């Protein structure tokens, strides 16, 4: 059980779900700004620590693409286009994840009670340890966000924060990675 809560950089991936132009503007204002800031921090941490990163886009023809400010943080990551709510239901996604050899997946993005929740449930069912940073997911309403976090916790996901994830992956304060990320965290 304790292994579910631990993150090891060699066995962890970051998945950014559907943070797209038209979806973003419908989200709770305060939450969405914090979410973008924290996803950028997670992406910077993933890049610095060598974690694989996956990105999804829900029906980009109608909802737009990943936010420009996140695309900058996610340079080189080709988004997985989907119409399914769960990334796990998209052909090829699970194979990509399996090829990475990861055990834990940090899932961030939009909307907490729809695509994030359904993706997390599929990953948990497949035996992955899923970590959802509460400060890097959002929904249109706080009630939907809070309900999603309760459902995720009940299903076995680790509901956590961006800083907790980064410090777990860093493990030590006497490294170049820590010094690089400390400047971003403060």
87 an active-site residue? no
Which of 40, 82, 87, 138 is flagged as catalytic? 82
Q: Strand runs (DSSP E) across the chain, as ranges? A: 12-17, 53-58, 80-82, 104-110, 129-133, 137-138, 158-160
Quick one: which H or E segment has residue 122?
helix 117-125
86 Cβ contact partners less than 8 Å away, ≥ 6 residues apart: 115, 118, 119, 121, 122
Which of 18, 40, 87, 122 is flagged as catalytic? 18
Alpha-helical runs (H) found in 9-52: 21-24, 29-49
**β-pair type (53-58, 137-138):** unpaired
CA distance 103 to 9: 10
40 an active-site residue? no
Count Cα atoms within 13 angstroms, Cβ side, for 68: 0
Which of 40, 87, 115, 122 is flagged as catalytic? 115
Catalytic residues: 18, 82, 115
């Amino acid at each position: 059980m304790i292994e579910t809560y631990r993150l090891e950089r060699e066995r962890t991936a970051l998945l950014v779900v559907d943070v797209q132009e038209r979806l973003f503007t419908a989200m709770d204002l305060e939450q969405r700004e914090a979410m973008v800031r924290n996803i950028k921090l997670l992406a910077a941490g993933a890049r610095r620590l060598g974690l694989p990163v996956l990105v999804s886009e829900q029906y980009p023809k109608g909802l737009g693409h990943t936010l420009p400010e996140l695309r900058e943080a996610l340079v080189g990551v080709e988004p997985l286009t989907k119409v399914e709510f769960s990334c796990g239901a998209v052909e090829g996604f699970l194979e990509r994840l399996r090829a990475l050899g990861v055990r834990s997946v940090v899932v961030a993005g939009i909307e907490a009670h729809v695509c994030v929740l359904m993706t997390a449930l599929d990953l948990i069912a497949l035996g992955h340890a899923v970590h959802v940073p509460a400060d890097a997911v959002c929904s249109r309403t706080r009630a939907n966000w809070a309900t999603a976090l309760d459902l995720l916790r009940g299903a076995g996901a680790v509901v956590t924060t961006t800083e907790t994830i980064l410090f777990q992956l860093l493990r030590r304060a006497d490294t170049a990675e820590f010094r690089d990320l400390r400047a971003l965290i403060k």
